[in-house]
Amino acid sequence: MTLHAICIPKWGLAMEEGTLASWLKAEGSTVRQGEDIAEFETSKIANVLEAPAAGILRRRIAAEGDVRPVGALIGVLADAGEDDEAVDIFVAGFSEASVVQEQQDSSTAIVETILVDGLPARFLRVRARTASPATPLVLLHGFGGDHMGWMFNQDAWAADRDVLALDLPGHGGSTKDVGDGELATLAARVSAWLDSQRLDRIHIVGHSLGAAVAASLALASPARVKSIVALCGAGFGDTLSRDYVEGFIAASRRKELKPVIEMLFADPGLVTRDMLESLMAYKRIDGVGDALRALAEKALAAPALAELRSELADIQVPMLALYGAADRIVTISDPAAFPWPHAIVEAAGHMPHMEAAKAVNEQVAGFLALHDGSERR
């Protein structure tokens, strides 16, 4: 019997349920493995579910709008030769608990908070799913983000390496003390955290502010950084939207924050109420307002980013720059003029790793594999 369950996936440690936003295939449709089959909404953002196998979509069990727990059966794929009775038996015998247990057993992710130079640093570590892991990968989020922003990426990249997503100072569960707020200070904090984890040689994927921090770290410690992927990197483009930065800092209510966060996405409909509530809760934490202001006036100030841009050519490690085609935060007048490899991610704004996760995951995985054995150029 060849039948395959379509289940609610677990995207990120905190995900407990998902809402079926829409089916992308009708019952009776033939689908290929990896083809988009449904759209789901989580507490963070919407994402596309891919078919786990090739076959015919024989049964759609969940309806659009249904909220189901992680591991719940929502559909069945089967070969053309399977009859309805076989599908009925499969559905009746399906065990949601076994799917959840399988996900837990295969999960090697853990959130850790440690003290680095007396200051808390929180990060999510996902262990490699191979006995011979490649060079570790460190993920650095953007302004106002945290490690949860990598929920659609971290597990995919952990197929062959440890992947650690750090909350930068001023963000998430890390210290809200950002010092003088300079890029060099943030890079030094990241370097001290790397020392605590005995990570002497790493790849880095940095988003927006995180890309600027990654570049600063590579300038200060070139032997430590094996490669950099910059996603919509601050300092890599021509300008950074001050409307976004100031709007994010100033918003004191969900209603005020919503149009600001919508600027991040090509599709503003991806911004959910839960996402806004989570961001407002973060902004209310003691010290966050001062931290964001310091970062805006130092690390993300136009002179600081201009100086970084002038130094990018001095970075002696392989770099890949990925940009969202509809990015309204970091503007790029002529990507073709950049001296490093680059690519445009279609149908994405400033958050391509969330809006077009599959495309970004593939680009990054290919780049990392290419440079796992490379030395600094």
* Tens-place pLDDT, residues 348-374: 999 999 999 989 999 999 999 999 875
| Residues 114, 116, 120, 123, CA torsion sign | negative
Q: Which residues of 160-186 are buried (b: 16+ CB within 10 A; e: fewer)?
A: bbbbbbbbbbbbbbbbbebbebbbbbb
Comparing 23 with 297, the larger pLDDT belongs to: 297
Cβ–Cβ < 8 Å for 255, 277 = no
Cite the beta strand spans of 84-130 per DSSP E. Answer: 109-116, 119-126
Element (H, E) at 289: helix 288-297
Contacts of 176 (CB under 8 A, 6+ apart): 169, 170, 285, 286, 287, 288, 290, 291
What single DSSP character describes residue 148?
G
**Overall CATH class of domain 109-371:** alpha beta
Share the mean pLDDT of the chain: 87
Rg for the chain (alpha carbons), in Å?
A: 21
Contact call for residues 139 and 164 (beta carbons, < 8 A): yes
Would you say domain 3-106 falls under CATH 3.30.70.20?
Answer: no
pLDDT digits (tens, 9 = 90+) for 249-279: 999 999 999 999 999 999 998 888 888 998 9
* pLDDT digit string, tens, across residues 145-174: 999 999 889 988 998 999 999 999 999 999
Write out the DSSP string of 235-249. Answer: TTSSEE-HHHHHHHH
- Backbone phi, psi, residue 346, to 5°: -70, 160
pTM for the whole structure: 0.80
Q: How far apart are CA 129 and CA 146, in angstroms?
A: 24
How many Cβ atoms sit within 10 Å of the Cβ of residue 111? 16
**Extents of the domains making up the chain:** 3-106, 109-371
Any idea which residue has 């979509």 for tokens?
57
CA distances from 261 to 51, 114, 170, 244 (A): 30, 30, 18, 8
**pLDDT tens, 41-98?**
766 666 777 777 788 888 888 888 888 777 788 888 887 777 777 777 777 766 555 4
Read off the pLDDT band of 377 (50, 70, 90).
very low
Residue 100 in this model has a pLDDT that exceeds 50: no
Those residues whose C-beta lies under 8 Å from the C-beta of residue 153, and which sit 6 or more positions away, are: 139, 205, 353, 357, 360, 361, 364
